[in-house]
Homo-oligomer: A and B are copies of this chain.
Amino acid sequence: MAGLRGKLVMAQSGGPTAVINSSICGVIQEALKHREVEGVYGAINGIMGVLHENLIDLAQESPETVERLRRTPSSALGSCRRKLDQTDLERVLAVFKAHNIRYFFYNGGNDSMDTAHKISQMATAAGYEMHVMGIPKTVDNDLVETDHCPGFGSVARWMAIAMRDAGRDTEAIANTSTAIKIIEAMGRDSGWITGATVLAKQDPDDAPQLIYLPEVAFEIDKFLNDVQKVYDRLGHVLIAVSEGVRDKDGKILVKSDSVDAFGHVQLEGVGDYLANVIKKKLGIKARCDKPGTIQRVSILGASQSDLQEAYLVGQRAVQYAVEGHNGYMVALVRESDEPYSCTTGMVALEKVANAKKVIPADYISPEGNFVNDKFITYAKPLAGELLPDYMRFQKYFVSKQLDAYQR
């Protein structure tokens, strides 16, 4: 089995990440080594670039520009969100035929894998031979059949550092200012990013103390009780909450653009909502930080293993395709937790398309308000080294000389 001779098109889809450009870098640098690949093109704005024939010749870019992809966040080719219908699919095939494109690589999440799968199926049905490969990418980490997804490790690291910093900040100001801090994390259907804030912990009482995931039905009374208990013990509370937390009926707690009983539009923000509930019901000052897309795309927080693996899945996509494969996503296969090692495999696109991986129940604490050691073992090597440990004073108290001050 060997790859056809023809051109390659690479495209990116969905939300950009800190490391997705490393995957393009891996594709370009590897593709240039194989004589089967007669041209390396990039589609501008994902599949839209194929539909409109907005293709650029990546082989003409300077090697320095290509190498710098590894240090540039977001999608250098531009992204899109578009579900293809039959007419679109036919157009895609027409474009591929017109340019003798035999390799199509789609870099994205489960929607993108669905698109890649459909293209692969249609080409086969039309008797047009192709090598279609999916390259996984999503901070949400919700693709099935892969240990994890490039993009997740970096956002996990970023959020863990943000939580550690917020923890130190809140400890310092709790007595006269905000004692409760909520960080709202991305993740509509799965709590991987939210759970990763657990990596902030150096000591048992460190931030975060509470974690709320879409995988566990959210009850406001239990939440308030949880918060009060931590507050009574520590005098401050750090909470990670997923944007997608939902009630026992599966209804998302706070939806953007919904209108509350007072006719006020709810701005995106379960975190702001919960901060207000705490203020009203518990009478404790609470604030929410919502880093939003900054968490998704920050190169400042990028994890080294994530950067390397994002490159690897691009590189391997070329290798698998040139070996003659078609209709697979490159998967990451963990070989060992510590020392961490990971290799790649292939999984049929149809198994990945539109499926979603949530946090397994046995990674979540019995109370449903935290993650356990299994989660930590899983997530820690993906985020990699956080930062040097922060210090704390030993606090050698000086003997008091005066009576207590009563004000």
Contact B162 A98 (CB under 8 A): no
Contacts of A172 in B (CB 8 A): 12, 16, 45, 74-79
A301 and B57 alpha carbons, distance in the complex (Å): 36
Say yes or no for A200: interface residue by CB 8 A criterion. Answer: no
Per a CB cutoff under 8 Å, which of B41, B299, B392 touches A398?
B41
Q: Is residue A387 contacting chain B, with contact meaning CB distance below 8 A?
A: yes
Listed stretches A263-271, A326-334, A335-343; interface member? A263-271
* A91-B405, A402-B95, A405-B91 as given contacts; A287 in contact with B292, CB under 8 Å: yes
**Could you say which residues of chain B place their CB within 8 Å of the CB of A402?**
53, 94-95, 98
Q: Is the CB of A291 within 8 A of B291?
A: yes
Residues of B near A51 (CB, < 8 A) are 405, 407
> How many copies of this protein are present in the complex?
2
Check if A118 is an interface residue, CB within 8 A of chain B: no
B398 and A99 within 8 A (CB): yes
A388: chain B residues at CB < 8 Å are 68, 71
Q: Which residues of B contact A258 (CB under 8 A)?
A: 279, 285
B74 touches A16 (CB 8 A): no
A209–B318 alpha-carbon span in the complex (Å) = 39
> For the complex, what is the distance from the CA of A172 to the CA of B298, rounded to whole Å?
14
**Once bound together, how far apart are the Cα atoms of A52 and B398, in whole Å?**
12
Q: Does A36 contact B (CB under 8 A)?
A: no
Is B297 a contact of A169 with CB atoms below 8 Å?
yes
Kindly list chain B residues whose C-beta atoms are within 8 Å of the C-beta of A60.
394, 396
**Is A176 a contact partner of B48 (Cβ separation < 8 A)?**
yes
Q: Chain A interface: which size bin?
A: 35 or more
Q: Identify which of B56, B176, B400 contacts A81 (C-beta below 8 A).
A: B176
Which one of B79, B176, B404, B407 lies within 8 Å of A261 (CB-CB)?
A: B176
Q: A56-B398, A80-B176, A300-B161 are contacts. A390–B72 as well, Cβ < 8 Å?
A: yes
- 8 Å CB interface, A29-43 against B: 41-42
Measured CA separation A391–B388 after assembly (Å): 30
Residue among A55, A292, A296 facing the most chain B CB atoms (10 A cut-off): A292
User: What distance in Å separates the Cβ of A116 from its nearest Cβ neighbour in chain B?
Assistant: 17
> For the complex, what is the distance from the CA of A111 to the CA of B212, rounded to whole Å?
37
User: What is the CA–CA distance of A290 and B401 in the complex, to the nearest angstrom?
Assistant: 46
Q: Are B161 and A393 interface neighbours, CB within 8 A?
A: no
Per-residue contact bits, chain A 50-93, to B (CB 8 Å; 1 contact, 0 not): 01111111101110010011011111111111100001100100
Q: Which residues of B contact A81 (CB under 8 A)?
A: 173, 176-177
CB distance from A173 to the nearest CB of B (A): 5
A147 close to B (CB within 8 Å): no
A101 → chain B closest CB, angstroms: 10
Query: Which residues, 202 to 224 on A, are CB-close (under 8 Å) to B?
Result: none
Q: Is A382 among interface residues, defined by CB-CB distance under 8 A?
A: no
Whether A181 is near chain B, meaning CB under 8 Å from some CB there, is yes
Which residues from chain B contact A405 at a C-beta distance below 8 Å? 51-53, 91
Per the bound structure, the CA–CA distance linking A297 and B289 in Å amounts to 12
Known: A15-B173, A16-B172. A396 touches B57 (CB 8 A): yes
A365 within 8 A of B: no
Q: Are B165 and A74 in contact (CB under 8 A)?
A: yes
Contact status A294-B73, CB under 8 Å? no
- Taking a contact as CB atoms under 8 Å apart, the answer to whether B166 and A293 are in contact is yes
Residue A304, interface by CB 8 Å = no
Asked if A241 is at the interface of the complex by the 8 Å CB criterion, the answer is no
| Other-chain contact of A56, B176, B296, B299, B395 (Cβ < 8 Å) | B395
17 contacts between A and B (CB under 8 A): A16-B173, A48-B176, A72-B390, A74-B165, A74-B168, A78-B173, A79-B176, A80-B173, A87-B407, A88-B407, A95-B401, A98-B401, A99-B398, A166-B297, A181-B293, A289-B290, A289-B294
